[in-house]
């Protein structure tokens, strides 16, 4: 990052701005993901997956983050938060970095991954290298499987440039000669339906290799002339446009948010164009034509050497069937049946009459995903659905996935006469359609469905079961840092707490009452909640550590999260650092705090862990010199949106054994990592930690081995 004049936004003597641009930090995260694709210590097909993830991340960056900046570029006085840049300046900076990363992606594919895959017998055959047998099979494949599905659009006044769907594969074709009606069109567009595979594996009868692949784009290039009989194809070039996918709903003005969302979702694929990807051999005049069609400037152009959607390469690892080139399979640990003293050992339900409620009443149960199975959460709901003593079940749903066992359990509970309330967040980005479907299913089954609070996404992760025991009401609660999604729990690292703490249960009941009745929630006993007490609760604790440091008392903050961008939190951490508090932050993605700046943040370190699993915990530890350190888990990052415009919960870890497990497995071992750890520098760049002078240590590998044993 170049030196920037900081006279307006930094009172320190640093040559760098006080805050790192949020979107620039997001791109730096994607650069770290891409670095995994070049890491020879990682199995080869897993490296292909990392390349695909980096491509998908870049898509979302353009669809959401850059799109949001472009929306405010003409607003008077608009600035980015927290770094206070003019939108146009930020866009220019981000465009430069994005072009660098895209170039790195294709260099990684063409010069590293493809040659190494070829050494392992996994080949991507170029059409110039096809032999006669392959050529004949591919031609037949085009005629039988592709041509009937493809529809070419010749451009003329009655066939205008077609609507191009967001991120769809298309080809622009230049033609010579007259069409069937005696006209010279010159250009045509060939949209490729998403139902068609982008990579085709050649069968044994067509090739000698076990894993020979051809790109659909190569097949179409070779045979596109069959779509234009009587005319001569002089050029065929793939392109893809990325569009703005932000939804625009005035929640204060609509009567039915579900109906309004349905209307918006139907047009999401045709938002304003943000980026144009084109084959790098496309002639300049055709590139200019496409830019004009999509009303884009040259800075939005990305000319690439390879498939325009690298994410489609994610099919290769499964198609190749080479487990030796992937991570060793890992199955989440089931829970041990009997309670034991060690906090790591939990239980497996082996008999139908085993009661989860009896176990949770005895002690808190911590689940560490993906190292431990998600099934106990489903069993918790299933047991509640069939337990005659359970009166009510309440749950928040942000992301659930299709064919969710969670949804089935809630429906069964309602059918069994339980009072079931589901707070479904319809606006969970890119899951809106599925959430609408699931909400409708729940309603049809008799579940009371509400959609949270207008203007505030409900992001909290809570299940509350109300049970009658000995003529008294008792609460059982699940609080989590991650979603109730059976797929993401396999590769997102999260904590889930099953507890019979009545203080947590009473607080959860108040939050649910607030979400359904919209009444004010007062005097929560132990939970912190945004947008009300979570921000102030964190600021108070940071300030307390600073005061303790000034008084010479022990002071320490360790926090783990996905993103850190809220300016008030950052300023409080800067002040605590200056007071002498040792602060270790483990921030996977966006981090706008600048560590290691003399006089500002020299006592702060920031580590980003990139590994096999997506780090997703939110954990907050405060030393609290009274001898009673505090440890919280949360659904909320230290981001402005989480703290001010979402409904979030932050729950304390009260059980001593669980406290030790969360501290050790969620924080301490990550600070020892020197394999997947990247250290944020004060210039905004990241450096990969190296095990110089000590053994290599990976926190994720440690946890895999621990739970495997």
Q: What is the distance between the alpha carbons of residues 257 and 214, in angstroms, rounded to a whole number? A: 45
Calpha distance 488→369 (Å, rounded):
9
Percent of the chain clearing pLDDT 70 (strictly above): 90
Report the pLDDT value the prediction gives residue 647, as an integer from 0 to 100.
Answer: 95
Instruction: Using the predicted structure, report yes or no on whether residue 180 has a pLDDT greater than 80.
Output: no
142, 215 Cβ separation under 8 angstroms: no
Q: Which of 368, 459, 485, 617 is catalytic?
A: 459
Per-residue pLDDT tens over the stretch 270-286: 899 999 999 999 999 99
Q: Is 116 exposed, middle or buried (0-12, 13-18, 19+ CB in 10 A)?
A: middle
Instruction: Retrieve residue 323's tokens.
Output: 């487990």
User: Strands 582-587 and 604-609, how do they pair?
Assistant: parallel
Q: CA 251, 254, 257 angle in degrees (round to 5)?
A: 70
Q: Is the pLDDT of residue 498 over 90?
A: yes
- Say how many C-beta atoms besides its own lie within 10 A of residue 200's C-beta: 20
Check residue 626 and give its pLDDT. 79
Q: Is 57 annotated as a binding residue?
A: yes
Q: Which long-range contacts (CB under 8 A, 24 or more apart) does 263-266 make?
A: 265/432, 265/433
Looking at residue 267, what is its pLDDT?
A: 62
Mean pLDDT, to the nearest integer, of 347-367? 76
Q: 279 pairs with which residues across the strands?
A: 304
Is 492 labeled as ligand-binding? yes
Distance of alpha carbon 570 from alpha carbon 85, whole angstroms: 17
pLDDT classification of 517: cutoffs 50, 70, 90 = confident
**Digit-coded pLDDT (tens) for 551-607:** 999 999 999 999 999 999 999 999 999 999 999 999 999 999 999 999 999 999 999
Contact 586, 609 (CB under 8 A): yes
For 42-77, b where at least 16 C-beta lie within 10 A, e where not — what string? bbbbbbbbbbbbbbbbbbbbbbbbbbebbeeeeeee
Residue 264: pLDDT band (50, 70, 90) is: low
Three-state secondary structure of 460-508:
CCEEEEEEEECCEEEEEEEEECCCCCCCHHHCEEEEEEEECCHHHHHHH
For residue 660, the number of C-alpha atoms closer than 13 Å in the C-beta half-sphere is 6
Annotation-wise, does 486 bind a ligand? no
Q: Give strand pairing partners of 646.
A: 457
C-alpha distances out from residue 413 to 351, 419, 466, Å: 21, 8, 13
Catalytic site residue 129?
Answer: no
Nearest one of 551, 557, 553, 596 to 576, comparing CA atoms: 557
**Structure tokens given for 349:** 């339900």
Which residue intervals of 611-655 are DSSP H helices?
640-644
User: Which tens digits make up the pLDDT trace of 66-105?
Assistant: 999 999 998 999 999 999 999 999 999 999 999 999 999 9
Strand, coil or helix: 47: helix
CB count within 10 Å of CB 284 equals 7
Q: Share the mean pLDDT of the chain.
A: 90
Q: Are 209 and 119 in contact (CB under 8 A)?
A: no
Q: Is 653 within 8 Å of 531 (Cβ atoms)?
A: no
Residue 24 burial (10 A CB sphere; 0-12, 13-18, 19+): buried
Counting Cα atoms < 13 Å in the Cβ hemisphere of 529 gives 26
* Residue 486, pLDDT above cutoff 90: no
In this prediction, residue 263 has a pLDDT band, given cuts at 50, 70 and 90, of: low
Q: Report the pLDDT value the prediction gives residue 262, as an integer from 0 to 100.
A: 53
- Report the relative pairing of strands 686-688 and 211-215 from DSSP bridges: unpaired
Measure the CA angle with vertex 501, ends 655 and 344; round to 5°.
Answer: 35
Residue 56 has pLDDT above 70, yes or no: yes
Predicted local confidence at residue 434, as pLDDT = 80
Average pLDDT over residues 390-414: 93
Is the pLDDT assigned to residue 432 strictly greater than 80? no
Confidence of residue 426 (pLDDT cuts 50, 70, 90): confident
Structural domains of the chain in order of their starting residue, each with its CATH number: 1-119 (1.20.58.310), 125-325 (3.30.1840.10), 378-521 (3.30.870.10), 529-708 (3.30.870.10)
Residue 34: closest CA among 48, 14, 16, 23: 48
Stated pTM of the model: 0.92
Residue 454: phi and psi, rounded to 5, are -55, 125
Residue 343: pLDDT above 60?
no
DSSP3 helix / strand / coil % (the chain, rounded to 5): 40, 20, 40
Write phi, then psi, for 364 (nearest 5 degrees).
-65, 145
Among 586, 607, 688, which residue's Cα sits nearest to residue 36?
A: 688
Question: What pLDDT is recorded for position 340?
Answer: 37
What number is the average pLDDT over the span 219-240?
95
How far is 20 from 683, CA to CA, in rounded Å?
9
Whether pLDDT at 183 is above 60? yes
User: Using 50, 70 and 90 to split pLDDT, how confident is the model at 265?
Assistant: low
d(CA 397, CA 394): 10
Bridge partners, residue 559, by sequence = 585, 620
């Amino acid at each position: 990052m170049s030196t920037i004049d900081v006279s307006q936004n930094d009172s320190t003597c640093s040559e760098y701005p006080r805050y790192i641009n949020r979107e620039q930090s997001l791109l730096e995260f994607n650069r770290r993901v891409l670095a995994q694709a070049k890491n020879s210590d990682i199995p080869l097909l897993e490296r292909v997956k990392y390349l695909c993830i980096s491509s998908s991340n870049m898509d979302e960056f353009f669809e959401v983050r850059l799109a949001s900046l472009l929306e405010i570029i003409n607003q008077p006085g608009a600035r980015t938060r927290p770094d206070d840049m003019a939108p146009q300046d930020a866009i220019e900076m981000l465009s430069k970095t994005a072009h660098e990363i895209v170039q790195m992606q294709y260099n990684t594919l063409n010069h590293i991954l493809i040659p190494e895959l070829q050494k392992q017998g996994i080949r991507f055959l170029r059409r110039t290298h096809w032999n006669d047998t392959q050529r004949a099979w591919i031609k037949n494949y085009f005629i039988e499987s592709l041509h009937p599905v493809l529809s070419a659009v010749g451009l003329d006044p009655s066939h205008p440039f077609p609507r191009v769907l967001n991120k769809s594969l298309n080809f622009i074709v230049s033609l010579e000669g007259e069409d069937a009606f005696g006209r010279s069109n010159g250009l045509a567009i060939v949209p490729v339906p998403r139902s068609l595979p982008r990579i085709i594996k050649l069968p044994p009868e067509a090739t000698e290799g076990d894993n020979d692949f051809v790109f659909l784009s190569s097949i179409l290039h070779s045979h596109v002339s069959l779509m234009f009989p009587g005319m001569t194809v002089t050029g065929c070039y793939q392109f893809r446009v990325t569009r703005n996918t932000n939804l625009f709903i005035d929640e204060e003005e609509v009567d039915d948010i579900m109906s309004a969302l349905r209307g918006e979702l139907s047009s999401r694929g045709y938002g304003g164009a943000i980026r144009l990807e084109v084959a790098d051999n496309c002639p300049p005049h055709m590139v200019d034509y496409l830019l004009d069609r999509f009303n884009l400037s040259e800075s939005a152009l990305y000319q690439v050497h390879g498939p325009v959607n690298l994410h489609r390469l994610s099919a290769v690892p499964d198609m190749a069937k080479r487990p030796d080139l992937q991570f060793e399979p890992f199955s989440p640990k089931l829970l041990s049946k009997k309670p034991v003293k060690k906090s790591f050992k939990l239980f497996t339900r082996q008999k139908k009459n085993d009661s989860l409620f009896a176990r949770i009443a005895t002690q808190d149960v911590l689940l560490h995903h993906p190292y431990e199975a998600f099934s106990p959460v489903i069993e918790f709901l299933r047991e509640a659905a069939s337990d005659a003593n359970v009166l009510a079940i309440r749950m928040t749903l942000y992301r659930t996935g299709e064919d969710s066992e969670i949804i089935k359990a809630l429906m069964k509970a309602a059918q069994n006469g339980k009072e079931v309330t589901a707070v479904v967040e319809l606006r969970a980005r890119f899951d809106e359609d599925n959430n609408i479907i699931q909400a409708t299913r729940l309603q049809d089954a008799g579940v009371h469905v509400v959609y949270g609070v207008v203007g505030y996404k409900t992001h909290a992760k809570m299940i509350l079961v109300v049970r009658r025991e000995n003529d008294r009401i008792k609460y059982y609660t699940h609080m989590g840092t991650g979603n109730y999604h059976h797929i993401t729990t396999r590769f997102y690292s999260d904590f889930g707490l099953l507890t019979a703490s009545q203080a947590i249960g009473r607080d959860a009941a108040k939050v649910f009452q607030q979400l359904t009745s919209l009444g004010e929630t007062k005097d929560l006993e132990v939970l912190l909640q945004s947008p009300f007490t979570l921000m102030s609760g964190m600021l108070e604790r940071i300030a307390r550590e600073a005061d303790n440091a000034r008084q010479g008392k022990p002071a320490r903050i360790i926090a783990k999260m996905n993103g850190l961008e809220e300016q008030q939190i950052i300023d409080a951490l800067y002040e605590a650092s200056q007071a002498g508090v040792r602060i270790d932050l483990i921030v996977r993605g966006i981090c706008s705090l600048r560590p290691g700046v003399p006089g500002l943040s020299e006592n702060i370190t920031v580590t980003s862990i990139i590994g096999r699993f997506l780090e997703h915990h939110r954990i907050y530890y405060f030393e609290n010199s009274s001898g009673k350190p505090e440890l919280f888990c949360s659904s909320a990052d230290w981001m402005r949106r989480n703290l001010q415009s979402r409904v979030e919960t932050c729950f304390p870890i009260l059980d001593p054994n669980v406290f030790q497990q969360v501290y050790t497995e969620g924080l301490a071992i990550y600070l020892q990592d020197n394999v997947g750890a990247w250290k944020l520098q004060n210039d905004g760049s990241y450096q990969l930690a190296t095990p110089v002078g000590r053994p290599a240590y990976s926190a994720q590998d440690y946890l895999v081995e621990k739970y495997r044993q």
